[in-house]
Structure 1
Amino acid sequence: MTNGATERRRGRIMVLLDGSRVSYAALEAAADIAAQTGAEVLGIFVEEVNLLRSAGYSFSREVGSASGISRSFDAALVEHRLQRLADQARQALARAMAGRGGHHALSVARGRVVEEVLALAGPEDLLVLGRVGWSSAPGARLGSTARGLIQRSPGRVLLWCEPPVATPGRIVAFLNDHNQANHRAVLAAVEASRRYHQPITAFLCPGKTVPPEHLTAIRRELDVLGADARIRTLPATDPATIAQAVRQEHASQLVVSRECGLFQNPGADQLLIAVNLPVTVTP
Structure 2
Amino acid sequence: MTDAPTTQADPGTSTGRVLVLLDGSRMSYAALRAAAEIAASTGAEVLGVFVEELNQLRSAGYGFAREVGASSGISRPFDPAGVEQRMQRLADQARRALAGAVAPHGGRHSLSVARGHVIDEVLALAGPGDLLVLGRVGWSSAPGARLGSTAKGLVYRSPGKVLLWCEKHSLPQGRVVVFLNDHVDANSRAIQAAAEVSRRSHRPVTFLVGADSSVLSKDLKGVARDLGVQESELRVRSLPSTDPVTVAGILRQERAVQLVLSRDCTLLQEPNAERLLVALNLPVTVTP
* TM bracket, shorter-chain basis: over 0.9
Measured against aligned partners, the alpha-carbon deviations of 1:95-128 in whole angstroms (never above 9, x if no partner) come to 1011211110100000000000000001000000
**Structure-2 change in CA distance of 1:164 and 1:24 (3 Å):** farther
Q: Match for residue 226 of structure 1?
A: 228
Tell me whether 1:183 sits opposite 2:213 in the alignment.
no
Residue 110 of structure 1 aligns with an amino acid whose one-letter code is: R
The alignment's TM-score, normalised by the length of structure 1, stands at 0.93
Indicate the percent of aligned positions where both proteins have the same amino acid: 63
Residue 228 of structure 2 aligns with an amino acid whose one-letter code is: G
Tell me whether 1:242 sits opposite 2:247 in the alignment.
yes
Which runs of structure 1 show a deviation greater than 3 angstroms over 4 or more consecutive aligned residues? Answer: 2-7, 135-139, 163-168
CA distance in 2 between counterparts of 1:106 and 1:204 reads 40
List runs of 5+ in structure 1 lacking aligned partners: none
CA distance in 1 between counterparts of 2:173 and 2:48 reads 29
Match of 1:48 among 36, 47, 53: 53
Residue 156 of structure 1 aligns with an amino acid whose one-letter code is: K
User: What does 1:140-155 align with in structure 2 at a 5 Å threshold?
Assistant: 140-155=145-160
**Structure-2 change in CA distance of 1:108 and 1:119 (3 Å):** same
Is the contact between residue 165 and residue 277 of structure 1 (CA under 8 Å) also seen in structure 2? no
Tell me whether 1:98 sits opposite 2:103 in the alignment.
yes
Deviation, 1:4, is: 4.5
Residue 222 of structure 2 aligns with an amino acid whose one-letter code is: R
Q: What SS does structure 1 have at the residue aligned with 2:170? A: coil
Measured against aligned partners, the alpha-carbon deviations of 1:210-249 in whole angstroms (never above 9, x if no partner) come to 254xx54322011233312121111222111110100100
Is the contact between residue 138 and residue 280 of structure 2 (CA under 8 Å) also seen in structure 1? no
**Structure-2 change in CA distance of 1:53 and 1:245 (3 Å):** same
Q: Match for residue 36 of structure 2?
A: 31
**Paired residue total:** 278
Match of 2:277 among 228, 247, 272: 272
Q: Match for residue 202 of structure 1?
A: 207
CA distance in 2 between counterparts of 1:282 and 1:15 reads 16
Root-mean-square deviation over aligned CA pairs = 1.7
Q: What SS does structure 1 have at the residue aligned with 2:105? A: coil
Larger deviation, residues 65-74 vs 161-170: 161-170
Match of 1:110 among 102, 108, 115: 115
**Structure-2 change in CA distance of 1:33 and 1:211 (3 Å):** closer
User: What does 1:111-190 align with in structure 2 at a 5 Å threshold?
Assistant: 111-135=116-140, 137-163=142-168, 165-190=170-195
Is the contact between residue 204 and residue 234 of structure 1 (CA under 8 Å) also seen in structure 2? yes
List runs of 5+ in structure 2 lacking aligned partners: 1-7
Deviation, 1:261, is: 1.4
Q: What SS does structure 2 have at the residue aligned with 1:14? A: strand
Residue 39 of structure 1 aligns with an amino acid whose one-letter code is: A
Is the contact between residue 168 and residue 252 of structure 1 (CA under 8 Å) also seen in structure 2? no
The alignment's TM-score, normalised by the length of structure 2, stands at 0.92
Residue 75 of structure 1 aligns with an amino acid whose one-letter code is: P
Measured against aligned partners, the alpha-carbon deviations of 1:145-183 in whole angstroms (never above 9, x if no partner) come to 001111111100000012453444100000011000000
Measured against aligned partners, the alpha-carbon deviations of 1:1-45 in whole angstroms (never above 9, x if no partner) come to x964543x3100100000000000000000111111111000000
Is the contact between residue 183 and residue 218 of structure 1 (CA under 8 Å) also seen in structure 2? no
Measured against aligned partners, the alpha-carbon deviations of 1:33-58 in whole angstroms (never above 9, x if no partner) come to 11111110000000000000000111
Residue 132 of structure 1 aligns with an amino acid whose one-letter code is: V
CA distance in 1 between counterparts of 2:172 and 2:276 reads 19
Deviation, 1:137, is: 4.3
CA distance in 1 between counterparts of 2:154 and 2:219 reads 30
Tell me whether 1:81 sits opposite 2:83 in the alignment.
no
